[in-house]
Amino acid sequence: MEKQYLYNKIKGTLVAAGMGDAMGAPSEAWSRDEIIKNYGGPITDFIDPSLNLYVKDNLMGEVTDDTSQMYEMALAVIKSKGNFTVNDAANALIEWSEKYPKYYPRNAGPTTRYLIEDLKSGKDPVELGKTGGTYDRGTSNGAAMRIAPAGLLFPGNLEKTIEVAITMTKPSHGTQHGYSGACAIACGISNALMEDSDLYSIIKACLYGAKRGEEIGREEARIAPGFAVYEKIVKSIEIALTSDQMDEAMERLERSVGNDGSIQSSAACAIGLFLASSGDVLKTIIGGANIGGDTDTIACIAGMLAGAYTGFEEIDSDKYEVFKKANTGFDFDKVSEELTDLAHNNYLNAK
C-alpha cells in the first residue's frame, strides 16, 4: 500500500465527515418536512444556518461539535504516537471543551454535558464512562461521531481497530451500545482503507465491529437499556438494498431505524445511507443532511465511511473550498499526513 494512496483515503475520511457535519448542521432537530418547508426543498449544498437554533451563529459550511471532537481525538492519537490510552481520550475531550467555546457547552450532547467538569476534577475516566442515571447517558451518538481516528490507525486490522475504538469510547460512552456503535463505524473505516475493499466488505466489517463491540461491552461496560446496534444495522442494510430510490430509503430508514441522537439509530442510519448511496460521498452526506433528526451527526458518521471508501480525490473541489474557508482552524492536510505516517507504519509492521 503506497503512502499517497493511504493519505488520500485518510484525508477523505476526515474531510467528508466534516463536510457532512457542516451540511447537516442547518437542519438539525427538524423533520424531513420541516427541512423542505424552511429551505424550499432538500439541502444539496452548504447553506446559511441562521434559521436553526443550534447553529444560528455559524458560518455557511462551518462544522459543529462533531468534527471538532473528531479533530481533537486525531490530535491526541498523533501526540500519543499511536499508543493511545483512556487518559489520552479523556484529555482530548477536556481540550475540546477549552478550545471551542463556540461549541461547548452550546452543542454538548446528553453524555458530554455531564462529563467535562468531572474529567477536569480528576475523576476516573473509566468509571465516569460507565455512569448512568439519566436518559441517553452513554448511549448517545457522540462515541460514533468522533471515532474516525480509531478507524484510521490500523488499516484492515479489525481487532486492533476495536481496541482503539473502545479505548476512545471508554471515558464517555462506557456501555455495550456505545462500544458497539463506535466499533461498527471504526471497523467500516478500517476496511475501507484497504485497496481491495468494496461495499460488501465495508458493511461486513461494520457488522463485525458492532457484534464484537457489544460482546466486549457486555463483559466490561455498563449494560444500558435499549435496542442493539447490530440489529439496527441489519435493518438498515435491508432497507438500503431493497429501496429503489434514495428518497424511499430515507423514508424507510427514518421510520424503521430512526434518526434520533441515540448511537443505535445514528450509526445504523449512517450505514444505511452510505450503502443506499453506493458509497458516493456527496449523495451520502446529502442524504444525511435531509434525513431529519440529528442530521449533522448522521451525515458526519456516514461521511466518514464514504470518504474512507472513495478518498479525498473524489470529493467535490468547489464544495471543499467553501468548507475549507469556513473552518480555518482545522489543518486537515497536516493531521492527515501525520495519521498516514502512523497508519502506514502499522500496516507495514502487520505484514
10 Å CB burial of residue 187 (0-12, 13-18, 19+) is buried
- DSSP letter, residue 193: T
Owner of C-alpha cell 484525508: 11
Q: Is 296 annotated as a binding residue?
A: yes
Q: Is 297 annotated as a binding residue?
A: yes
Q: Is 280 annotated as a binding residue?
A: no
Q: Is 331 annotated as a binding residue?
A: no
Q: Is 64 annotated as a binding residue?
A: yes
Closest CA to 203 of 308, 295, 297: 308
Q: Is 32 helix (H, G, I), strand (E, B) or coil?
A: helix
The stretches of 170-228 forming alpha helices (DSSP H) are 176-192, 199-220
Cα distances from 2 to residues 148, 149, 193, 288, 344, in angstroms, run 21, 19, 11, 31, 8
- DSSP labels, 42-61: ---S----TTSTTTTTSPTT
Closest CA to 349 of 110, 66, 153, 86: 153
Q: Is 65 annotated as a binding residue?
A: yes
- DSSP letter, residue 27: G
Annotated binding site: 64-66, 294, 296-297
Annotated binding site for Mg(2+): 64-66, 294, 296-297
